[in-house]
Structure 1
Amino acid sequence: MRFLVVIAVMVAAVGAFPSNAGYVLPAGNIGYSGIVRTDGTIEAFPGDFSHDIVLIGPSGIVTKSGKNVQLDRNLHRTKRSAGFVRPEGSVGYSGIVRTDGTIEAFPGDFSFDIVLIGPSGIVTKSGKNVQLDRNLHRTKRSAGFVRPEGSVGYSGIVRTDGTIEAFPGDFSYDIVLIGPSGIVTKSGKNVQLDRNLHRV
């Protein structure tokens, strides 16, 4: 009985919040008060964390302070990197929170496809990368290319051998062309790649 009361209180708390009140998924519910999973487990959030939340998405929670929570498909915490925080805002697996007041939530399929978050964007397994400008808004730059050996984008390289190479922000913003054999930059700091997408 006590278990049902706790669930009812948490579900009521989730329903009490406006538009971004949480998320209802087949695996359970995520709200500002915590997570209620269909496997019967409940995770309550401390008050300080609850008040820090600005965005709840299908793969986790983004906070003002960058203390994000990443969730797997069963709504349990994962050990993935939570992204990064910059003066312009924070980027995580669930979305982007900018200091200009705008929020961008990522769909679940995109969130679970992410393998690397860097200062200039997001690299995915499928090559559906997101390039970000200095204010953390999407840019219209080419996202790079995908080969059987992996994918190359403005944020870095994801290889099918399991290795990842993240590019620093200054290098990312310097890129003007990504081709099958390397990267060309405005400053001439080019990167040549071998057949396995490693630097030569």
Structure 2
Amino acid sequence: RADSPLDKRVSTVGKVHPHVEVKITDPETGKMCPIGIMGELCTRGYSVMLGYWENEQGTAAAIDKNGWMHTGDIAVMDEDGYVNIVGRIKDMIVRGGENVYPREIEEYLMANDAIEAVQVTGVPDPRFGEEIVAWVSLKDGAILTEEEVKAFCKDKIAHYKVPRYIRFSEDFPMTVTGKVQKFKMREISIKELGLKEQNTA
């Protein structure tokens, strides 16, 4: 919206449109999250699809009985009603019972002058369930060690969000349309680190 403050226009996806409803819910309980707490972005209204064409199963998974579409996006709403999308549920890492959203770590690491690009994903861990691996691409001529990346994070982000593994790479696995394939990054990391998938039940 043109009347929104500049900082809100560049750092959020804005406010909900007229005649459309939005709520942020806990993905596990379905309960609405308080202002400032991250959860799944759900929306309902005239602009929301009725369902997937000839795909009842997909429709049932995305739209609940009350007409709310569950977007799969992790978002947070501020006290002024502006929404910021911070990641995808499918990318979420659960480390020692703590939910970790890769985008948070990626955005923080991008503040390092030596880093050109970064992608974060989870890998299995026998103690914590999952651990964090950061794939880091450095700028031309830049030098950065694994220890320096971790030191950059220490005491600046929560200790459980500090990547345990750092993998330096010039490029990342991509689709033909240029979308990062995090599942392939996970597969490659598991193989290179000699890890095994953990049984969850």
TM beyond 0.5:
no
Structure with more of its chain in strand, by fraction: 1
- TM-score with structure 2 length normalisation? 0.31
Structure with more of its chain in helix, by fraction: 2
- TM-score with structure 1 length normalisation? 0.31
